[in-house]
Chains A and B, each alone.
Chain A
Amino acid sequence: MKGSAFRALTFIAAATARNMLKRQLRRMRQPRYLLATLLGLFYVVNLFVQPGMGSAVRHAGPAHTASPLIAGGLIWWGTLVLLFAWVFGGDEGGLAFSEAEIQFLFPAPLSRRQLIHYKLLRSLLFALFSSLIFTVSVGRRLRGGPPFFALGAWLGVATLSLHLTAASLTRLSLVQHGVRGGLRRLLALAVPLAIVGALAFGVLRSPYPWPSHYAEVAPYLEHLLDAPSVTWAGMVVAPAVHVALAHDLPELLRWLPAAAGVLALHYLWALSTDAAFEQASLASSERRSKRMEGLRRGQLTVRGTARPPFALSPHGHPAFAIYWKNLTAAVRLLSLRVTIVLLMPAVMGAVGALSGGAALNRGLGAILCGLLAGSSAFFGVQVYRIDFRLDLVNIDQLRSYPLRGVDLALAEVLAPFTVLTVAQWIFLVAGAVLAPPDLIPGQARLPVLAAAMMALPAFTLCGLIVQNAAALLFPSWVETGTGPPRGVEAIGQRLVTLVGTLLAVAVALIPAALVGVPAALLLRGVVGSAAVAVGALAGTLVVALEAGFAFLGLGKAFDRFDPGR
């Protein structure tokens, strides 16, 4: 890059960073954001700057050497990201420029190559932030420690980011060279087909038989991940993963050149494409801007105009309109990708059940369904944000409606609650049907199912109420009109949110447990295994009562909410 262009582009990056810092400092004048920032700083400092860093004994608990299964899992997670990008990526993505970048940089006297350099270097910087998040999440307790993991995570995230960019530019280039229709799709599918083919080859040629018992699953997967074709299929991501999971310096140095080489090759690949990205970037930027405008919190895309779940009558309580609106959103915001991920365990379970009813397959299917139902109660609440968290961007509309705060709060929260509950019930019933007798004995099946069908939604409701209360009390953590929190405040925010959610949900569930557990124990001698269901019913009624009071509080919080602050 020429000197003046380089200085201009570094000025943008530096000014952006400086102004973000200033804004962060201004936010910290409010105690709640100051608290989050301090917590985040404390966590990061504790993670990286404590004495004896890198030592295997600095944590109270034992540090772990990552098992081959963990390494394989990470490699194939990254490889699946690549695979999805090729399968679902559009042909006209271009480079992702912001609207401001397009307005100022495109008419500026900068060459295409300089613009690409700028975007690629920025993506490497952004990868640093993502790698920090990964390190905070999972890298802490590995034997190599946070520094190794952070380096590997950065190499991995940067490689994935450059791969997605280069793949997008390559597809665009194919379009611009007149390669259309089936041939282009075939070329775009070559990479995923090669990956899937290598995996299938590894499975078919494996000398080890398909596992027929739980204990055989892990060894089988370890051998499969060692197969040459499977190793080759994961080669884009593997070096970075090995750097991240290296347990000492020599091992890190063994993998570092390969990981850096893969990253450099990707950089050159992205730089060498001849795609005229400007028009595609402009269109992509406009699409992204529109998408962000309405759906900042959900990070989802409106998919067509699927029919609303039911017709809305003009008669009846007005708050029902909000419930209907959010259920319609639920139908339309469910992306193809999410659907596939959600359906995968159900399909696997069905395949298991149909393939002769082998106990292992049925058991795996049941466990997957149970895990999905359980995780939806915890993670579903975080991810499925079709309530105040999505609607705060339209706060002016909400406040102009002739609704009491408590009615609005009830309508907002009940929509995601309905969707998550229905999903949980489907997975629980599927799990109960699939579960072999050694997993859940026959006479206990129905009571356990009934108990789970009450307890999980009760837990979900507690989580949703807490999340919505946080949205109303800490709007800047949800509302992204002035930009979402980043950096250490974001880490602190997640800590506060996670701990706060867990504490609030635990406190809410204590009275339920105090009623439900003794009820189940007392009735066990009378009604047998059905006591589980009776206990769950008693606990759920307590949660419902608590939720009633919580909705009154949420309504008051909404009525007092000042969008001007």
Chain B
Amino acid sequence: MEEAVLDVRGLAKCYGAFTAVHDLSFQVAPGEVLGLVGPNGAGKTSTLRCLGGILPPTRGTIHVAGHDLARSPVAAKQQLAFLPDEPRLFDYLTVREHLNLVARLFGVADWEPRADALLAELELDGKAGVLPGELSRGMKQKLTIACGFLHDPRLVLLDEPLTGLDPLGIRKMKRSLQARAEAGTAIVLSSHLLPLVEELCHRVLVIVHGRVVALGTLAEIRAQLGGEAGSLEDLFLRITADAGAGAA
């Protein structure tokens, strides 16, 4: 396997006495799209927030492009983009000023042509001077995506990236993610939209109650389940039902 862009070993996240994520280990190679799926409360968002350097892990290590996220957070964060499910924007900065801010933070010298291209790609080119308060939920999501892509990160973490997007936006977003993966960007995508995960992801990581219950390509997971046929949705329901029964 090519040197991993994301290398996670023994990741655990506890909130007081509650353990949200147990001993998670996996790697993501350049150009690979990993789908993170699981039922509500499985620990997907906690995992993503740990990978993005937002939550400090309770145990374990995370390396992004060779940089230890705990020891060299600045170098590691320089290589990644975290796109949350709920777009959080600064209400007093316009669309273009958000991109300007990100350009300075990540040192993107040629940010203006890049920003123009991203705004055009995400159909925000008419909204450059607008404050977030005047944008719809979907447009805010697009702006968050544009900010995440501006510095060409080597690792993109997406939590429910298509929430709020219209059908055309969803199609464009899918193409954009595929194009970035083909260009070598590693992507971790968390979503409840299993057809999307099936369509975009090379491998799938299924977690239930914070524990890994399946990791691999769809074919590998089918093989683990005794060659059971069906879509990712069918497999997911089977795996999570088994895991739920096991936990009970």
Q: Decide whether A and B are members of one complex.
A: yes
A residues at B contact (CB < 8 Å): 290-291, 293-295, 302, 305, 308, 312-316, 318, 320-322, 324-325, 328-329, 332-333, 393-397, 399-404, 559-560, 562-565
In the complex, whether B54 has a CB less than 8 A from a CB of chain A is yes
The segment from B31-39, B85-93, B212-220, B239-247 found at the interface with A is B85-93
Which residues 36-72 in B have Cβ within 8 Å of A in the complex? 46, 49, 52-56
Task: Return chain A residues, CB-CB under 8 Å to B16.
Answer: 565
Task: Return chain A residues, CB-CB under 8 Å to B15.
Answer: 564-565
A-B contact pairs, 12 of them (CB 8 A): A302-B91, A302-B131, A321-B104, A325-B90, A329-B92, A394-B89, A400-B81, A402-B73, A559-B73, A562-B55, A563-B49, A563-B54
Once bound together, how far apart are the Cα atoms of A320 and B101, in whole Å? 9
Task: Return chain A residues, CB-CB under 8 Å to B129.
Answer: 305
Once bound together, how far apart are the Cα atoms of A329 and B97, in whole Å? 12
Q: 9 closest pairs, A vs B, by CB?
A: A294-B91, A321-B104, A402-B77, A402-B78, A332-B92, A329-B92, A314-B103, A399-B54, A400-B82
A-B contact count (CB 8 A): 105
A305 touches B84 (CB 8 A): no
| Minimum CB distance partner of B79 in chain A | A402
Task: Return chain A residues, CB-CB under 8 Å to B56.
Answer: 560, 562
Task: Return chain A residues, CB-CB under 8 Å to B49.
Answer: 396, 563-564
Q: How far is the CB of A16 from chain B (nearest CB, A)?
A: 25
Task: Return chain B residues, CB-CB under 8 Å to A329.
Answer: 90, 92-93
Q: Per a CB cutoff under 8 Å, which of A328, A333, A399 touches B97?
A: A328
A305 touches B131 (CB 8 A): yes
Once bound together, how far apart are the Cα atoms of A560 and B105, in whole Å? 21
| Minimum CB distance partner of A330 in chain B | B92
| Minimum CB distance partner of B129 in chain A | A305
Which residues 93-126 in B have Cβ within 8 Å of A in the complex? 93-94, 97, 100-101, 103-109, 111
Once bound together, how far apart are the Cα atoms of A350 and B73, in whole Å? 53
| Minimum CB distance partner of A396 in chain B | B54
Further contacts, 5 of them, CB under 8 A, given A396-B84, A396-B88, A402-B77: A314-B109, A329-B90, A396-B49, A402-B105, A565-B16
| Minimum CB distance partner of B81 in chain A | A400
Once bound together, how far apart are the Cα atoms of A308 and B104, in whole Å? 15
Task: Return chain B residues, CB-CB under 8 Å to A302.
Answer: 91-92, 131, 133
Q: How far is the CB of B50 from chain A (nearest CB, A)?
A: 9
A312 touches B100 (CB 8 A): yes
Interface of A is mostly: helix
Once bound together, how far apart are the Cα atoms of A291 and B91, in whole Å? 9
Once bound together, how far apart are the Cα atoms of A440 and B142, in whole Å? 59
Task: Return chain B residues, CB-CB under 8 Å to A322.
Answer: 105
B101 touches A400 (CB 8 A): no
Q: How far is the CB of B221 from chain A (nearest CB, A)?
A: 30
Once bound together, how far apart are the Cα atoms of A562 and B46, in whole Å? 12
Once bound together, how far apart are the Cα atoms of A322 and B100, in whole Å? 11
In the complex, whether B203 has a CB less than 8 A from a CB of chain A is no
In the complex, whether B180 has a CB less than 8 A from a CB of chain A is no
Q: Per a CB cutoff under 8 Å, which of B54, B105, B131 touches A318?
A: B105
Q: Per a CB cutoff under 8 Å, which of B91, B100, B111 touches A295?
A: B91
B132 touches A294 (CB 8 A): yes
In the complex, whether B13 has a CB less than 8 A from a CB of chain A is yes
Q: Which of A313, A399, A400 has the most CB of B within 10 A?
A: A400
Q: Per a CB cutoff under 8 Å, which of B46, B103, B132 touches A564?
A: B46
Q: Per a CB cutoff under 8 Å, which of B74, B78, B104 touches A312?
A: B104
Q: How far is the CB of A562 from chain B (nearest CB, A)?
A: 6
Q: Indicate whether A312 sits within 8 Å of B101 (C-beta atoms), given known contacts A328-B92, A329-B90, A394-B88.
A: yes
Task: Return chain B residues, CB-CB under 8 Å to A394.
Answer: 88-90
